[in-house]
Amino acid sequence: MEESCNLVKIYEHSFRKHFDLPALSDYGTDKIYTYKDVAVAIEKLHILFEANGIKQKDKIALVGKNCSYWGIIFMATVTYGAVIVPILQDFSFDDVQHIVNHSDSTLLFATDSILKNLEKEKMPALKALFAIVDNGLSGKDGVEALDEELSAKFSAKFPSEFTPEDINYSSFPDNQITILNYTSGTTGFSKGVLITADNLVGNLLFAHNEIELRTGHKLLSLLPLAHTYGCAFEFLFPIMEGCHVTLLGKTPAPNILMKAFALTKPNLIISVPLILEKIYKGMILPMVSKPALRIALKLPILNGFIYKIIRKKLMEAFGNNFIQIVIGGAPLNKEVENFLLKIKFPVSVGYGMTECAPLVSFSLYENYIKYSSGKLLPCMQARIDSPDPFHIAGEIQLKGQNVMVGYYKNEEATQAVFTDDGWLRTGDLGTIDKDNNIFIRGRSKSMLLGASGQNIYPEEIEAKLANLPYVQESLVVHKNGKLVALVVPDYDAAKAANINAQNLQKIMVENRSHLNNMLASYEKITEFQLVEKEFEKTPKKSIKRYLYTNS
């Protein structure tokens, strides 16, 4: 990069360079914020911070759905030198209040629907609360009064026309805390991850060098910006590059996504495996399961031609304008992965965690090694806690630029997550090859032991189960010394196919037989137990496994 690698200076440079280009917009609305508009809004928020006595390193909490103003508040906090505390909007109101208090936040910005359900007297450290509404912010005297007050102070500070040269932010040390991010976790209450400016820069510089996204490109933001994956690669990275980010602001259901992709035609797509897997199951699987097509795919003369047609249809479904889809957050289902590789679909894969802000490994689709989670980043080191790291899975442990400082006000948890010699324990089990490609097997906490001491990775069995007919989701657990699959059937699909409860049960019996044919003897499932409701999930849509494994 031409500019200094100091985090604040990166964005000062971007706002100046891309002053008149579109920066942010909300899907379904006509409003577009240019980089100038964002810079002006940031200056107004800095005035608001000063008026409320906010100093550098103070905490500012932010909770609500993805929208342009969410991004503006985030960027205003970072460029002010304060610490942003992004909170997932799916947290309960009690949890939001707990996080605000635990983080020692002095200001709170929240979407109106959330703010009206919070009790200020239960958050005594707060100096002020502001509602994020459709056209900006609302204070105690309403939207118009607050906007008029800030506009008047802005005009006094910048009496002439606001120009790129007026964008000047005070830099702060690279080791200063920038984000205090509360993870949801699946085994208890979240911990506040202390992320420095340098942690973020490590991610951003790697993305700049490896992922083709440049000035004027478009991106559709699907993932929660309050989570480090969405924040780093759907917001901070494209804004650094001078791109136009459209915030979806809705649950990314396949039908909504298809319309949004067609309208925005993004140049890069950031996603989680679940989205691709749903599209594969709903769009591709029915197509390739037709008897005539299955026969044709076995013929070398025809299958290449058919794969080209399927690839074209899938490219069109994603807007037909993208360079690649970057998948992270969880391993991709192997059946889906195999098919995408067959049709030469441009999927790049990464692995990370909040504690690394978030990226650990990544591979572009051209260099991707099958079933891996990408190649270790140059700024990171990894070791496998195993006698044979190339072949025997052990805990993945990390060091490097992207690794967090620790957990806020939780020295016990910080000490527990680092080894005595300073390596971060990821809790993930995997192997590594000679070229530093990482292969993940599962979570250390979810690994099960077979009767003869064999390691059983339930996530791998669940991935196979997910591709069987009328299975929506599943969990593999130990019950009375036996492996049992808790299965949530796809009741909507069964109803649409006129399959009654008795026939659905027969299908599940067939599914168990088919599944066991794919498994090692010590992995075989003794029983399917059908579950009526979807499994309870964290705000990041991970199943709360611990709720179902102790019964």
Tell me which residue range forms the domain holding 118: 7-247
Range list of H helices, 266-331: 273-279, 285-288, 291-297, 300-317
Q: For residue 358, how far is the Cα from the chain centroid?
A: 9
Question: At residue 89, does pLDDT exceed 90?
Answer: no
For residue 314, is it within any domain?
Answer: yes
pLDDT at 68: 96
**Residues 462 and 528 both lie in one domain:** yes
**Residues 296 and 439 both lie in one domain:** yes
pLDDT at 526: 93
Burial of 313 (0-12, 13-18, 19+ CB in 10 A): middle
For residue 1, is it within any domain?
Answer: no
3-state DSSP assignment of residue 159:
coil
Q: Let me know: does 405 contact 327? Beta carbons within 8 Å.
A: no
Q: Let me know: does 333 contact 351? Beta carbons within 8 Å.
A: no
**Residues 380 and 463 both lie in one domain:** no
pLDDT at 186: 36
3-state percent breakdown (helix, strand, coil) of the chain, nearest 5: 40, 25, 35
**Residues 235 and 343 both lie in one domain:** no
**What band does 451 get if pLDDT is binned at 50, 70 and 90?**
low
For residue 407, is it within any domain?
Answer: no
**Residues 271 and 307 both lie in one domain:** yes
pLDDT at 539: 62
Question: At residue 189, does pLDDT exceed 70?
Answer: no
The token duo for 245 is 């980010």
The token duo for 77 is 């906090």
Angstrom distance (rounded) from CA 3 to CA 255: 41
Question: At residue 19, does pLDDT exceed 90?
Answer: yes
Given 381, 408, 443, the domain boundary residue is 443
**Residues 378 and 471 both lie in one domain:** no
Cβ neighbours around 479 below 10 Å, total: 13
For residue 362, is it within any domain?
Answer: yes
Residue 139 backbone dihedrals phi, psi, to 5 degrees: -100, -165
**What band does 187 get if pLDDT is binned at 50, 70 and 90?**
very low
The CATH number for 58's domain is: 3.40.50.12780
pLDDT at 104: 96
pLDDT at 90: 79
Cβ neighbours around 361 below 10 Å, total: 26
The predicted model scores a pTM of 0.85
Residue pLDDT, tens place only, 109-155: 999 889 999 998 999 999 999 999 876 888 776 777 788 899 999 99
CA distances from 473 to 460, 468, 524 (A): 13, 10, 18
Angstrom distance (rounded) from CA 68 to CA 344: 35
Which amino acid would we find at residue 96?
V
The domain tally of the chain equals: 3
Q: Residue holding tokens 């990408």?
A: 374
3-state DSSP assignment of residue 349:
strand
Max alpha carbon distance in the chain (Å)?
78
For residue 415, is it within any domain?
Answer: no
Q: Which DSSP helix (H) or strand (E) runs through 113? A: helix 112-115
Name the residue with higher pLDDT: 379 or 304. Answer: 379
Question: At residue 200, does pLDDT exceed 60?
Answer: yes
The token duo for 455 is 């390691």
Question: At residue 204, does pLDDT exceed 80?
Answer: yes
Minimal CA–CA distance to 316: which of 244, 258, 256, 251? Answer: 258
List beta partners, residue 132.
111, 137
Cβ neighbours around 90 below 10 Å, total: 16
Angstrom distance (rounded) from CA 169 to CA 252: 35
| Torsion sign across C-alpha atoms 226, 229, 230, 236 | positive
**Residues 207 and 267 both lie in one domain:** no
pLDDT at 185: 35
Name the residue with higher pLDDT: 334 or 39. Answer: 39
Average pLDDT over residues 169-194: 80
**What band does 382 get if pLDDT is binned at 50, 70 and 90?**
very high
3-state DSSP assignment of residue 125:
coil
Cβ neighbours around 13 below 10 Å, total: 19
Question: At residue 324, does pLDDT exceed 90?
Answer: yes
**Residues 242 and 190 both lie in one domain:** yes
The token duo for 509 is 């019996």
**Residues 157 and 31 both lie in one domain:** yes
Contacts of residue 356, Cβ cutoff 8 Å, sequence gap at least 6: 199, 380, 398, 400, 402, 403, 404, 424
For residue 413, is it within any domain?
Answer: no
**Residues 394 and 353 both lie in one domain:** yes
List own/partner pairs for 416-419 with CB under 8 A and 24 or more apart. Answer: 417/355
**What band does 550 get if pLDDT is binned at 50, 70 and 90?**
low
pLDDT at 193: 96
For residue 414, is it within any domain?
Answer: no
The token duo for 81 is 């030198």
Q: What distance, in Å, lies between the first and last C-alpha atoms of the chain? A: 54
Residue 161 backbone dihedrals phi, psi, to 5 degrees: -60, 135
Q: Average model confidence (pLDDT) for the chain?
A: 90
Which amino acid would we find at residue 220?
L
Average pLDDT over residues 452-462: 77
pLDDT at 3: 45
What share of the chain in percent tops pLDDT 90?
A: 67
For residue 410, is it within any domain?
Answer: no
Question: At residue 188, does pLDDT exceed 50?
Answer: no
Given 247, 274, 298, the domain boundary residue is 247
pLDDT at 50: 96
pLDDT at 134: 79
Q: Let me know: does 266 contact 324? Beta carbons within 8 Å.
A: no
Question: At residue 100, does pLDDT exceed 90?
Answer: yes
**What band does 453 get if pLDDT is binned at 50, 70 and 90?**
low
Average pLDDT over residues 30-51: 97
**Residues 59 and 205 both lie in one domain:** yes
Question: At residue 497, does pLDDT exceed 70?
Answer: yes
The CATH number for 540's domain is: 3.30.300.30
Cβ neighbours around 170 below 10 Å, total: 10
Name the residue with higher pLDDT: 39 or 188. Answer: 39
Going by their DSSP bridges, the two strands 359-363 and 375-376 should be labelled as: antiparallel
CA distances from 515 to 291, 333, 433, 465 (A): 21, 15, 29, 7
Q: Which of 248-257, 295-304, 323-332, 404-413 has the lowest mean pLDDT?
A: 295-304
**Residues 335 and 394 both lie in one domain:** yes
The token duo for 138 is 């609302």
pLDDT at 2: 45
Q: Let me know: does 399 contact 424? Beta carbons within 8 Å.
A: yes
Minimal CA–CA distance to 513: which of 504, 530, 525, 495? Answer: 525
Q: Let me know: does 372 contact 349? Beta carbons within 8 Å.
A: yes
Given 443, 473, 498, the domain boundary residue is 443
Name the residue with higher pLDDT: 329 or 430. Answer: 430
Q: Which of 101-110, 442-451, 520-529 has the lowest mean pLDDT?
A: 442-451
The token duo for 548 is 């179902």
Name the residue with higher pLDDT: 190 or 328. Answer: 328
Which span out of 59-73, 492-506, 528-542 was modeled with the highest average pLDDT? 59-73
